[in-house]
Amino acid sequence: MNAILIFILMTGLPFFSAERPQEDQSFWRYSQPYIVIDEEVKDMGILEQGERGNGEIRLRNEGVREFLIGSVRSACGLMIPAWPSEPVAPGEEVILRFRYDTSRLGPFERKVIIHTNAFQKTVVVTVKGEVVPADKIDD
């Protein structure tokens, strides 16, 4: 009896390992939630100071199970994200919306970190652009 238990533990442990093979993600894509993002770098371009710096990030579930967005954060308080709390079914797309505070002038590059229960666990999207004074915008 102990020999059987030892055999199961020894042969089953690799299946419960936290490490996942990076070379073949297709197995994981077809066994759990798997996120595909529309863009890794979201370029907001030139924004006028004081204008609404609204943007969105599209996430698609290409896995076989639902995923949830647990939290979304950014590296600074100028980026304010909003995300749905409902599960995202396989094949569905969800939009994560954010707003960048355009009160501060100059170029910006901020990371938006999305925490999920999908294969990737954490997805990072870079949002960049430049805020210029209103009188610098050409009509």
**Tell me, what CATH number does 85's domain have?**
2.60.40.10
CA 45 to CA 130: how far, in whole Å?
6
Q: What does the pLDDT read at residue 9?
A: 47
96: its two tokens: 């994560």
pTM summary value: 0.73
CA 120 to CA 74: how far, in whole Å?
18
CA 40 to CA 82: how far, in whole Å?
18
Please, is 122 exposed, middle or buried when counting C-beta atoms within 10 Å of its C-beta (0-12, 13-18, 19+)?
exposed
Residue 10 lies in a domain: no
Which stretches of 1-139 are DSSP H helices?
2-12, 26-29
Residue 42 lies in a domain: yes
The amino acid at residue 118 is A
Residue 96 lies in a domain: yes
Q: Which domain holds residue 76?
A: 35-131
| 79 neighbors 98 (Cβ within 8 angstroms) | yes
> In this structure, what are the phi and psi dihedrals at residue 117, rounded to the nearest 5 degrees?
-100, 15
Residue 74 lies in a domain: yes
Question: How many structural domains are present in the chain?
Answer: 1
Reading the chain (139 residues) residue by residue, the pLDDT tens digits are: 555 544 444 454 444 444 444 545 666 667 889 999 999 999 999 999 999 899 999 999 999 999 999 999 987 888 889 999 999 999 999 999 999 999 999 999 999 999 999 999 999 999 999 999 988 766 5
